[in-house]
């Protein structure tokens, strides 16, 4: 949806619309230490009342999940998962707990809802409210050029498929990769351009995949990047991006209709010739900057 057109959820007096994002909770005295050792970003630098973008990688440096990591207390972390099932991810993480004092559990009582308007109190990486308060937790889920508010609360929000699809389009325009199951464990953080979100660290020390991420960074070996494209309406994740008759990249995720947007991984070095997806031209678009949460 173009920026200059009104959206039905730009009225703060209306309840937000329900989002697909779900919550996985890490609680206990070792929650932050466990997350710091497992996730790609610097969890130790995250203060209570703040959030950051983060990712969990395979030992080979491929991205399993991209998520918002909220530190709601000294011993409390919340993973807000746009695409991943919290029970499935929780089971996978629990294998690495060993003797740490951390409980990992989905929070089906917390629901995500959205508004296409600036937050009332939250700003940047600073949270507002509390998950057990009547209004829940408020997050600044946008940028100056594309403001949005996400709220976590006991209220599920209203059903609005059109608004939810517009939300997914906005995620892509802001540079947030949406990873369907077929695209998990396929891409490195650099290939998904997660530096745009400041979603990983190359200096904090060991975590799964850290050696590959750091080597790629310090040796300058990144050869691919994420690009935002306007694509044909039928485009789906996994579609080939073609240039001069040759497949050079892959669509990671797509959302919206007329126009439809896609996030695709393409070589850094490529020709100036037009790109195609599904036999039709795909036009590169600039990202909306300002979605990083340092």
Q: For residues 272 and 261, what is the distance between their CA atoms, to the nearest angstrom? A: 20
Q: What is the model's pLDDT at position 164?
A: 96
Sequence-distant (6+) residues with CB within 8 A of 104 are 24, 25, 26, 90, 93, 94, 97
pTM (two decimals): 0.93
In a domain, 72, yes or no: yes
Residue with tokens 């994740």: 237
In a domain, 133, yes or no: yes
In a domain, 227, yes or no: no
Q: What is the model's pLDDT at position 14?
A: 65
Q: What is the CATH number of the domain that holds 40?
A: 3.30.70.1400
Query: What does the angle CA 250 – CA 253 – CA 255 come to, to the nearest 5 degrees?
Result: 135
Through-space distance between the first and last CA atoms of the chain, rounded to whole angstroms: 28
In a domain, 124, yes or no: yes
Q: What is the model's pLDDT at position 6?
A: 40
Q: What is the model's pLDDT at position 294?
A: 81
CA dihedral 68, 83, 254, 189 (to 10 degrees): 50
Q: How many CB atoms within 10 Å of residue 153?
A: 22
By residue range, what is the domain housing residue 56?
A: 17-173
Phi/psi of residue 255, nearest 5 degrees: -155, 155
In a domain, 268, yes or no: no
In a domain, 90, yes or no: yes
Q: What is the model's pLDDT at position 216?
A: 86
Pick from 196, 191, 215, 76: nearest CA to 132: 76
Q: What is the model's pLDDT at position 3?
A: 42
Q: Going residue by residue through the chain (294 aa), what tens digit of pLDDT does each one get?
A: 334 334 545 555 467 999 999 999 999 999 999 999 999 999 999 999 999 999 999 999 999 999 999 999 999 999 999 999 999 999 999 999 999 999 999 999 999 999 999 999 999 999 999 999 988 999 999 999 999 999 999 998 999 999 999 999 999 999 999 999 999 999 999 999 999 999 999 989 899 999 999 988 888 777 999 999 999 999 999 999 999 999 999 999 999 999 999 999 999 999 999 999 999 999 999 999 999 998
Number of domains in the chain: 1
Query: Which residues are bridge partners to 267 per DSSP?
Result: 224
């Amino acid at each position: 949806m173009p920026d200059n057109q009104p959206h039905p959820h730009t009225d703060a007096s209306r309840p937000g619309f329900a989002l697909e994002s779900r919550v996985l909770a890490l609680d206990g005295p070792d929650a932050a230490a466990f997350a710091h050792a497992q996730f790609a970003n610097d969890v130790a630098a995250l203060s209570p009342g703040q959030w950051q973008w983060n990712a969990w990688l395979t030992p080979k440096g491929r991205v399993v999940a991209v998520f918002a990591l909220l530190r709601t207390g000294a011993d409390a972390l919340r993973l807000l998962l746009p695409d991943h099932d919290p029970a499935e991810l929780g089971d996978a993480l629990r294998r690495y707990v060993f003797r740490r004092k951390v409980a990992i559990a989905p929070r089906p009582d917390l629901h995500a809802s959205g508004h296409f308007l600036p937050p009332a109190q939250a700003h940047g990486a600073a949270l507002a409210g509390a998950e057990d308060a009547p209004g829940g937790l408020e997050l600044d889920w946008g940028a100056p050029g594309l403001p949005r508010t996400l709220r976590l609360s006991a209220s599920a929000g209203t059903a609005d498929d059109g608004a939810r699809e517009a939300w997914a389009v906005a995620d892509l325009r802001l540079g947030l990769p949406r990873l369907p199951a077929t695209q998990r464990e396929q891409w490195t953080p650099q290939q998904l351009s997660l530096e745009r979100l400041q979603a990983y660290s190359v200096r904090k020390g060991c975590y799964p995949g850290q050696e590959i991420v750091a080597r790629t960074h310090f040796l300058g070996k990144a050869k691919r990047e994420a690009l935002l494209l306007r694509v044909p309406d039928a485009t789906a994740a996994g579609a080939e991006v073609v240039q001069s008759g040759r497949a050079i990249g892959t669509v990671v995720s797509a959302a919206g209709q007329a126009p439809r947007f896609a996030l695709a991984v393409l070589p850094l070095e490529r020709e100036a010739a037009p790109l195609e997806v599904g036999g039709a031209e795909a036009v590169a678009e600039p990202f909306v900057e300002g979605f990083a949460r340092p």
